[in-house]
Structure 1
């Protein structure tokens, strides 16, 4: 047995394991495609030299003293320790790659709930036999939801109801026994009927995957061609992939060769034509039928082609900023917006909670939502700048893990890796410009989802819309301009 196991203590075997692990680590790093060639050469050379030095220390020599006897043993121990760190490095990279894959997706999720009045006698699905269910026939995946419902209740009547008001009123007025609602619209429902959650209960839910890839084929080269990314910030109850209203809407136009970014904010209440309905409503409501609809709505509104989208939950902002070790953001006035801790006029090093509070604050400003959008752009710029620095390498897996479940994009992993690789290779500084679609607030009726309810809408100023279109076009063409 000793002879069989003796090879495992041989210095050649131990160093061989170290070399194999070094090769596996290098292959893992190469396949991630984030590090430029010069980094790979340095890392590969370091591992090769390290293996050679350890081999020379661990190689037995003539036994002339006790000190010489201890040297090979020390070399073996050093090699084993290095191998352990190489294993940790492989796990580190693979876990980061796994997290990377989890933030890329081509799907939204929509959940339908069968809702009844809380004081009704309906407790289970069978109780709805031969009863009437109200629903909006224009809902995403609604026919599939009805099909699933039919498998639970063999015989029931249906009532087609258009708009939030109609479907909620029908339940309260007992014109229907139950309603089938998209959970993404629950906030809209409670805006209309404040007591809805406590007045009702859910007796059945079903969830669907909804394909949302916004472009089937892309011919652009992200390292050569300027492109647009739509960023949707949500504050939903569920998953970031669940269809819901979009509270933050930013179009990011990126010119990688010139290292320039234009951030164009569109107010959530902007009164725009929804792509799927061909009727006007708040931009934020476009998200109730999925990301594709919001992207198409923004494309039509600003006459632009959007290549990718990214959806982020507010909670991920906290995690990302903390994973980066904080970010530096400029405030144009003194604020007391977070935990009683003031944000001073000037530059502030913010942790995640402070950055989130700064991004949400609007009551301290006379322009309200408009200034809040500027602050959101400032935080986004700070995050991009921090992530564009070489320090990102040490925060690689922390950042990816921090956004898991709270961030999703349809930009493929290899495209993100190419941009990261280019940034690490050039170490270029980026310039930012920010713009915003302006308009006038108005309380009125007539929105697609709630036509009979007076709501606040922002009517876009046509000159502002046209000006922002021109900024985006100039950025895409690589022309010089300054946002006024």
Structure 2
């Protein structure tokens, strides 16, 4: 049986939240320079990044973070350089459970065919953003999985490149070897700067798993950024990283929300679970879709439900 939604005011509906929390953690522990960084972070978050949406009831969510209850966060990666610039290139659900210090990251393939809430027809789930922005994406994901989302984080993929460059490099464990004409990606640990990271996450045609392999690499990059951000050695980098995020990221969290996540949820990364939704590719009216069976939807609903216990 699917997890049931709790009652809340209608309408019911980090990429990179975690790196920002790490930045705040470092800023709060860095002495007098950190005081400047802290104030800059607060202003950047509240003035440039905070974008509330009607589909999320802020008061209900603030009550959950105050009580340190489990949270579900929609991560949207937007590829601004694409000819389909209004569509989300990556969709992930990040679930945080501070009761057992666990974090779960589930990828939804962008070609997944589902009902687009507010439009009344089925289409690729990543088209929801083009039709109605973040609010329609949230509503469509909630309807698809029959879950409730507490926050969203939207990241411009170009900002991801800048962020990795500011960190220096990240390292991932590459599962297939390939060369894209510019970079060699060998099996095993691969160290990457920002440009190489973008080549890593965007490759699809040479991957035997197609978009499934691509979303796996997206999750690997998120993990790589978290690990690198947690071990960053110089506090002088933090201010520039905040500026990068401020120019490329939007979220329903305000600065106080992030502080609560910092204090109550920072240990969830100790136990990291990663999962990729699966389905069967099919062509309808000449357009490729991924049709996810009901059994898979029920499974993912249950996984998220268990994280919310």
User: What TM-score range do you get, normalising by the shorter chain?
Assistant: 0.7 to 0.9
Distance 1:33 1:315 in 2: 22
1:398 and 1:473, CA in 2 relative to 1: closer, same or farther beyond 3 A? Answer: same
Distance 1:33 1:284 in 2: 31
Select the structure of larger CA radius of gyration. 1
Distance 2:194 2:148 in 1: 32
Q: In the alignment, what sits opposite 2:246?
A: 404
Is the Cα contact below 8 Å between 1:104 and 1:413 reproduced in 2?
Answer: no
Number of corresponding residues: 282
CA deviation after TM superposition for structure 1 residue 255, in Å: 1.8
Q: In the alignment, what sits opposite 1:260?
A: 102
Distance 2:143 2:304 in 1: 14
CA deviation after TM superposition for structure 1 residue 316, in Å: 0.8
Distance 1:418 1:394 in 2: 24
Q: In the alignment, what sits opposite 2:173?
A: 330
1:327 and 1:421, CA in 2 relative to 1: closer, same or farther beyond 3 A? Answer: farther
Q: In the alignment, what sits opposite 2:278?
A: 438
Is the Cα contact below 8 Å between 2:37 and 2:238 reproduced in 1?
Answer: no
1:414 and 1:228, CA in 2 relative to 1: closer, same or farther beyond 3 A? Answer: same
Is the Cα contact below 8 Å between 1:103 and 1:409 reproduced in 2?
Answer: no
1:34 and 1:275, CA in 2 relative to 1: closer, same or farther beyond 3 A? Answer: same
> Mind listing any 5+ residue stretches in structure 1 that lack a counterpart?
1-31, 44-85, 108-210, 446-453, 478-484
Q: In the alignment, what sits opposite 1:352?
A: 194
RMSD over aligned CA atoms reads 2.9
CA deviation after TM superposition for structure 1 residue 214, in Å: 2.4
Q: In the alignment, what sits opposite 2:289?
A: 457
Distance 2:269 2:76 in 1: 25
In structure 1, the residue corresponding to 2:288 is in which secondary structure? strand
Equivalences for 1:36-47 in 2 at 5 Å? 39=29, 43=31
In structure 2, the residue corresponding to 1:442 is in which secondary structure? strand
> Mind listing any 5+ residue stretches in structure 2 that lack a counterpart?
1-22
Distance 1:469 1:284 in 2: 19
Equivalences for 1:46-61 in 2 at 5 Å? none
TM-score normalised per structure 2: 0.81
Find 1:249's aligned residue among 91, 104, 112.
91
Distance 2:67 2:123 in 1: 36
Find 2:68's aligned residue among 203, 206, 224.
224
1:58-85 deviations in whole A, cap 9, x for unaligned?
xxxxxxxxxxxxxxxxxxxxxxxxxxxx
Equivalences for 1:44-443 in 2 at 5 Å? 91-106=36-51, 212=54, 214-217=56-59, 218=61, 219-221=63-65, 224-236=68-80, 244-287=86-129, 288-337=131-180, 340-389=182-231, 391=233, 393-421=235-263, 430-443=270-283
CA deviation after TM superposition for structure 1 residue 297, in Å: 0.8
Is the Cα contact below 8 Å between 1:231 and 1:309 reproduced in 2?
Answer: yes
Q: In the alignment, what sits opposite 1:471?
A: 303
1:260-309 deviations in whole A, cap 9, x for unaligned?
21111111111101111232111111112121111011111111110011
1:33 and 1:460, CA in 2 relative to 1: closer, same or farther beyond 3 A? Answer: closer
